[in-house]
Amino acid sequence: MEMTFAYGRRSSIVREPAGLAISLSPNLRRDRVSFNGTLRSPLRFREAISALHDVVINDMRYKPRDKSDYEAYLAQEKERERAIHQTVARETKAQIEARRKQPIPVGLEADFRQSRTLYWKARDQYSNYLSRHDPELWRMLVPCDPVITVAPDVLFFECFSVDESSYGCLTVARDAFTTEQDVALGTTNVDYSWSLYEHFQNLRSYRETKFLVDPAGFEVHTTEAEGYREEKIDLPSSWLRGFMQLQSAMSLPMRRVPVSREGLYNVVAWLKRHKAARSPRAVRFELNPGQPVAIVLEPWEKRITLHSTPYAGPRAETIRVWGRDRLRVLARLLPLAEGADVYLLGTGLPSFWVVRMGEMQLTLGLSGWTTNDWTSASALDQLAPPGTVDEATLTQIASVFRSDTSQSFEQLREHTNLAPPNLLAGLNRLALLGQVIHDLPAGVYRWRQVMPTPLTNEQIGPENVETVEGRELLRRNRVKVTRDEQTPSGLRLLAGQAENRPVELLLNGDGHMVRGKCTCSHHFTGGLRRGPCRHLQALRNKVLAGNKSATLGVWFDSLWK
């Protein structure tokens, strides 16, 4: 998806006689959004926005050792050898050309695909190099500038990490400002750079600090104005789909688990001092109604009991989630935190960690993967409601937000007269299309368009065919498990039949596919590299998720309960 960003100038922090002013430059290609207020607690805002910055640049993908100098030497030697080979080849070719006519090259399409693969591989390598040696230039390769929304009661900033695994949302209540003026509600992108992050570190509690979404840029009528710049960014389809999938997951009902500041500190401190050498690497929540919540860090079985926060849920259960290494971005907030809440969907599904800091709250969403690939996680696709939501339902829900952009689930149910399963499926779909966000701390749904125009199914990308068909096999009860056992090395060996095909699967302690065996053409031609086939996914889902009837009512009940 191609997006155009236009900024009248760079965002910056300006010194004024009374203190500092944070002046953010909004995207001129979107509707006018402005805000001007004086912060009550600049120090708290500094730490919160810095933590959000850490989410943006967070990249937990595997990074090999820096061998750039050695590789430069090898490249120089290869270039010398290539020059020699080219000279000999040129002379030999000239002799051949003198004797016969050169045929027309064939295989243009294959050459194009190969060249495109080489380009993106080179771009990723260049991005990794810049992240180490030139952060300011590397920041320009971050897929999309942060999004800011000015709502009647709050301001909130949203971002998605480079490695497509973490979502961050900083919510600032409007009463966090002593004065307000020139307020225009709406959503826009804001210019963000590495230098602006460095300027944030100059905020102090003893200096008056103004926060300004500067509307002056909208008065620029010419591209020749000083400081004006325009950028066109082609958002990667995987980044856009991962962002929207995490948004749709956040729209669903979840279990709320309170975590004290001391408990969060113990989790972050242990993860900072220890590195797991083997799986499983999950965070296990042991929840028993009326009893203290227990957080267990695997594989060390480190138990952290939260005596001050008993669980208020209706039933006992154990939930395992992944992505815990990215919790370290919350370390900076611990001195200011009053407490935290963790919102859980279920084992293997996304988790959302909300840190409360008075009038400010930071939401960190963890998808459960470090790289958005098929072998590590396909659980997000299992959250989608069965069937499709008709356009009339989506239009009816959207019309309710015109009078008030913030609505609770019960208010929406009362205004739309829709059945709860249909309403929830509609909200989930609107979240996937970038229209609605679920504000977890406030417990309301908010209307905000994360992109300048409503997204379409084609822009988000269709659901993987093998995942859809694997879910269909499970629904039609075409999967049979004949073997389920633990190996001496701690792996889980599964065997059975899917659509009358013999399949075998090896899972590690985190439920990720290590190896698989199937006789279908999809697996024969690509193995797990192209993603597991429908038969392997059906076998895995049969064991891990169970066989549930694919109806909207059952889907709603399984989430709501």
Alpha helix (H) residue ranges in 222-278: 237-250, 261-273
Q: Which of 375, 376, 414, 382 is nearest to 397 (CA)?
A: 414
Is residue 140 within 8 A of residue 134, CB to CB? The reply is no
Q: What angle do CA 419, 445, 471 make, to 5 degrees?
A: 60
Upper half-sphere CA count for residue 237 (Cβ side, 13 Å):
9
Radius of gyration, alpha carbons of the chain: 26
**Which pLDDT does position 283 carry in this prediction?**
92
More confident residue, 123 or 285: 285
**Which pLDDT does position 490 carry in this prediction?**
78
How many whole angstroms separate alpha carbon 179 and alpha carbon 172?
A: 14
**Which pLDDT does position 438 carry in this prediction?**
92
Tell me the three state secondary structure of residue 188. strand
Of the pLDDT bands very low, low, confident and very high (cuts 50, 70, 90), residue 362 is very high
**Which pLDDT does position 410 carry in this prediction?**
92
Tell me the three state secondary structure of residue 49. helix
**Which pLDDT does position 80 carry in this prediction?**
85
Q: Which domains does the chain have, with CATH numbers?
A: 2-61+141-235 (3.10.150), 245-383 (3.10.150.10), 391-460 (1.10.10.10), 465-560 (no CATH)
**Which pLDDT does position 352 carry in this prediction?**
93
Task: Say what the pTM is.
Answer: 0.73
Token pair for 392: 């009339």
Tens-digit pLDDT profile for residues 213-259? 876 644 443 344 455 455 555 566 667 777 888 888 888 888 899 99
**Which pLDDT does position 375 carry in this prediction?**
37
Of the chain, the percentage scoring pLDDT greater than 70 comes to 79
Of the pLDDT bands very low, low, confident and very high (cuts 50, 70, 90), residue 108 is low
**Which pLDDT does position 277 carry in this prediction?**
80
Rounded mean pLDDT, 21-33: 80
E strands along 413-499, which residues? 436-439, 444-447, 479-486, 492-498
Token pair for 193: 């750079």
Helices (H) and strands (E) in the chain, counts: 15, 26
Q: Of the ranges 261-275, 328-342, 478-492, 541-555, which one carries the lowest mean pLDDT score?
A: 541-555
Alpha carbon separation from 465 to 110, 367, 472, 535 (Å, rounded) = 24, 21, 11, 12
Alpha carbon separation from 293 to 170, 288, 308, 310, 315 (Å, rounded) = 26, 7, 9, 6, 13
In sequence order, which residues have a C-beta less than 8 Å from that of residue 343 and are 6 or more positions away? 254, 255, 256, 257, 351, 352, 353, 354, 440
**Which pLDDT does position 377 carry in this prediction?**
40
